[in-house]
């Protein structure tokens, strides 16, 4: 029973149960302080395994604030062309549309009213302006309609594309009448984010609906490993699936409505806090800022959390593996012989069950040389120097009374190991007195025998 209670006292099973939940709670709290909101804890855990980060270009790697830098027309005035394009884009929510409308207002152009607005996903917009059908879009729109850029515009549009500008064509009644150049500045922190991911062995991929020359120019500037250009919104999900079929673990970073399916498909979806509600709802991790360097912070947090989980499990398991056998008395059968100066000063030995024998000695002879009546009935045994008298307890009301205090003290001293004894004997000795006291006060308790039988202690 002594060893059973000792095992219960010394064991620490809750350390194993709390090793992982505590790390998760602390990592979530620390990430929130750094502007990283973890909606899905499993997403944070999977982030350490990610080997490919897929960035949406507009608004993530770039500022997402396009400005109209050039206007070219086949015939007519550039301001009139800009006003016609702004009329079509007025009802659009795309960043490029806002840039065109803002440029027309800055030029003081008179923007006509448009009707029948229609957005063509991944291609452009279309509306009726002054009785004619006007469409504004990129190369995908021209290919879909079987149109080509006039030779008078070709030289200008090629130069714009080479420097990384987005090129939009204005089509009126099935004929290309002009083109606009819009540029989006690359975030300075994007270069640092890409470099940091490369140092950690992570591939960086960019996906965009812009023309390939524009995408290639941005990718060359940032040293991005792979580019998917002219991708329609409904195809972004398929691009993530294609990367996963290669065996890559993908984290998608986006901010727009058209990024939501890809965010949900990726192993880890990371939404920019300044993005749309749909994108935020589809992601498992949300960045409060638009700084792409926070993606590196998510990876570092995930890896550090995993290391701390392993450390906690190692310490908790190691403690129990070492302490529980000691508490169960695995070292108790070894006989120990304390030397001079140790507690008790007696030749204490261990019996076959690891319990210290009580140090007793023969009573001193009285002056007459004979043992008196008081000492004749005293139980004693010879075991080195010193004497511990333990007279038999008197019988009161049909049951024996408790022994004198010094007998219990001697018995406790015999059960407590000396300063040089092993840790297992300390646990056994310290708990024996507590077990005896509990047994005396709770005679009906039957838990200890059951524990002894289960542990095989033999007590």
pLDDT tens-place string over residues 64-113: 778 898 999 988 888 999 999 999 998 887 878 888 999 998 888 888 99
- Contacts of 120-125 spanning 24+ positions with Cβ under 8 A: 121/232, 121/233, 121/234, 121/258, 122/209, 122/231, 122/232, 122/233, 122/234, 122/235, 122/258, 123/232, 124/168, 125/88, 125/89, 125/91, 125/92, 125/94, 125/97
HEC sequence for 120-144: ECCCEEEEEECCEEEEEECHHHHHH
Between residues 110 and 23, the one the model is more confident about: 110
User: Alpha-carbon distance 226 to 220, whole Å?
Assistant: 10
pTM to 2 decimal places? 0.56
Tokens, residue 86? 């702004």
User: Alpha-carbon distance 312 to 124, whole Å?
Assistant: 55
The stretch 206-210 carries a mean pLDDT of 89
Q: Is the pLDDT of residue 346 over 50?
A: no
Q: What percent of the chain has pLDDT over 70?
A: 67
Between residues 128 and 283, the one the model is more confident about: 128
User: Alpha-carbon distance 126 to 417, whole Å?
Assistant: 92
| Region at 41 (left for phi over 0; alpha for psi -120 to 50; beta for the rest) | alpha
- Quick count: other Cβ atoms within 10 Å of Cβ 396? 9
Tokens, residue 426? 């300390």
What is the number of helices (H) and of strands (E) in the chain? 17, 15
The pLDDT of residue 385 is 41
The pLDDT of residue 7 is 67
Q: Is the pLDDT of residue 340 over 70?
A: no
Q: Is the pLDDT of residue 455 over 80?
A: no
Question: Following DSSP, what letter does each residue of 156-216 receive, concatenated?
Answer: HHHHHHHTT-EEEEEEETTEEEEEEEEE-PBPHHHHHHHHHHHHTT-EEEEE-SS-HHHHH
Q: Which of 190-204, 236-250, 403-417 has the lowest mean pLDDT?
A: 403-417
pLDDT tens-place string over residues 286-310: 888 888 999 998 999 888 888 888 8
The pLDDT of residue 326 is 74
Instruction: Using pLDDT thresholds of 50, 70 and 90, give the confidence band for residue 239.
Output: very high
206: closest CA among 353, 53, 67? 53
The pLDDT of residue 420 is 38
SS3 (DSSP) at 459: coil
User: Alpha-carbon distance 450 to 455, whole Å?
Assistant: 9
SS3 (DSSP) at 221: helix
Choosing from 56, 184, 235, 237, the catalytic residue is: 56
User: Alpha-carbon distance 77 to 109, whole Å?
Assistant: 11
pLDDT tens-place string over residues 365-422: 544 444 444 443 444 434 344 444 555 555 555 555 555 554 544 444 444 434 434 4
Active site residue 91: no
Tokens, residue 325? 């056998």
Q: Is the pLDDT of residue 358 over 60?
A: no
The pLDDT of residue 361 is 47
Between residues 212 and 242, the one the model is more confident about: 242
Highest mean pLDDT among 177-191, 375-389, 423-437: 177-191
Helical H segments across 246-339, by residue range: 260-265, 277-282, 294-327
- Give every CB contact of residue 368 below 8 A, 6+ residues apart in sequence: none
Tokens, residue 125? 């917009």
Q: Is the pLDDT of residue 16 over 80?
A: no
At 365, phi and psi to the nearest 5? -75, 140
- Give every CB contact of residue 442 below 8 A, 6+ residues apart in sequence: none
Average pLDDT, rounded, for the chain: 75
Question: What's the Cα-to-Cα distance from 432 to each of 1, 8, 416, rounded to whole Å?
Answer: 9, 13, 9
User: Alpha-carbon distance 287 to 273, whole Å?
Assistant: 5
Tokens, residue 276? 């749309």
Tokens, residue 352? 């076959």
Highest mean pLDDT among 182-186, 346-350, 354-358, 413-417: 182-186
The pLDDT of residue 60 is 86
Q: Is the pLDDT of residue 240 over 90?
A: yes
The pLDDT of residue 281 is 78
């Amino acid at each position: 029973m002594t060893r059973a209670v000792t095992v219960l006292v010394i064991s620490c099973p809750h350390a194993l149960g709390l090793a992982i939940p505590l790390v998760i709670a602390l990592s979530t709290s620390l990430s929130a302080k750094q502007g990283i909101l973890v909606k899905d804890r499993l997403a944070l855990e999977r982030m350490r395994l990610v080997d490919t980060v897929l960035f949406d270009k507009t608004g993530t790697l770039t500022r997402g604030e396009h400005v109209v830098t050039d206007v070219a027309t086949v015939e007519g005035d550039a301001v009139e062309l800009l006003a016609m394009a702004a009329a079509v884009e007025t009802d659009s929510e795309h960043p490029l549309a806002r840039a065109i409308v803002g440029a027309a207002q800055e030029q003081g152009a008179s923007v006509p009213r448009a009707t029948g607005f229609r957005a063509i996903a991944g291609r452009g917009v279309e509306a009726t302006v002054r009785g004619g059908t006007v469409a504004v879009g990129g190369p995908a729109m021209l290919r879909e309609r079987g149109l080509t850029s006039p030779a008078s515009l070709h030289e200008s549009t090629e130069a714009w594309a080479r420097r990384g500008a987005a090129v939009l064509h204005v089509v009126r009644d099935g004929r290309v009448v002009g083109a606009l150049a819009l540029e989006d500045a690359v975030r300075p922190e994007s270069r640092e984010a890409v470099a940091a991911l490369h140092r950690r062995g992570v591939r960086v991929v960019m996906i965009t609906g812009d023309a390939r020359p524009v995408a290639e120019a941005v990718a060359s500037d940032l040293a991005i490993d792979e580019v998917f250009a002219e991708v329609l919104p409904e195809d972004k999900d398929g691009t993530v699936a294609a990367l996963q079929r290669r065996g890559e673990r993908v984290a998608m970073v986006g901010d727009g409505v058209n990024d939501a399916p890809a965010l949900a498909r990726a192993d880890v979806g990371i939404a920019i806090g300044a993005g749309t509600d749909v994108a935020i709802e589809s992601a498992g991790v949300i960045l409060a800022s638009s700084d792409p360097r926070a993606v590196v912070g998510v990876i570092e947090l995930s890896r550090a959390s995993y290391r701390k989980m392993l450390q906690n499990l190692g310490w908790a398991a190691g403690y129990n593996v070492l302490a529980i056998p000691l508490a169960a008395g695995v070292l108790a059968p070894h006989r120990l012989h304390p030397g001079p100066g140790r507690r008790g000063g007696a030749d204490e030995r261990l019996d076959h069950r690891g319990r210290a024998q009580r140090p007793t000695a023969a009573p001193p002879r009285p002056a007459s040389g004979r043992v008196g009546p008081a000492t004749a009935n005293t139980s004693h045994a010879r075991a080195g120097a010193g004497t511990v008298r333990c007279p038999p307890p008197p019988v009161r009301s049909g049951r024996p009374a408790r022994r004198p205090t010094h007998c219990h003290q001697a018995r406790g001293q015999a059960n407590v190991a000396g300063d040089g004894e092993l840790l297992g004997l300390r646990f056994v000795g310290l708990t024996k007195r507590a077990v005896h006291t509990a047994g005396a006060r709770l005679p009906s308790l039957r838990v200890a025998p059951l524990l002894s039988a289960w542990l095989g202690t033999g007590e």
